[in-house]
Amino acid sequence: MNIPSSPDHAEHLRRDRLERLIRRLPARGEQAMRWLLEPGRVVLRGIMGSLLIVGGVLGFLPVLGLWMLPLGIILLAEDVPLLRRLSARMLEWIERRHPTWLAPASPPEQNIK
């Protein structure tokens, strides 16, 4: 039996949690995140992630908010191994604190007449 090593298992959990969170986004947000997370978008991810982190730090200003900080970390974590552990902890905290955020989206209710 092949048991995954701890770093591989942790990365698998991070990817799984991220995938479940992305699936909960509105259609345009999901499409944008999937596009940004494609392998060839390293430079764009770096720029967007950095801008989101700066916007999160300046969250006390109107329009900007603290929500930008974790999104920037998630984007940068794809290319910066040191941030992967932080994003994994952040996603784990979200799963513990707000389990419905990572739960599968319920299918739309159908009207039966």
The pLDDT tens digits for 12-51 are 999 999 998 888 888 998 999 999 999 999 999 999 999 9
The C-alpha angle with vertex 10 and arms to 25 and 79, in degrees rounded to 5, equals 65
Whether 90 and 73 have beta carbons less than 8 Å apart is answered as yes
This prediction's pTM: 0.75
Q: What is the pLDDT of residues 46-104, one digit of tens each?
A: 999 999 999 989 888 887 888 888 889 999 999 998 899 999 999 999 889 988 887 76
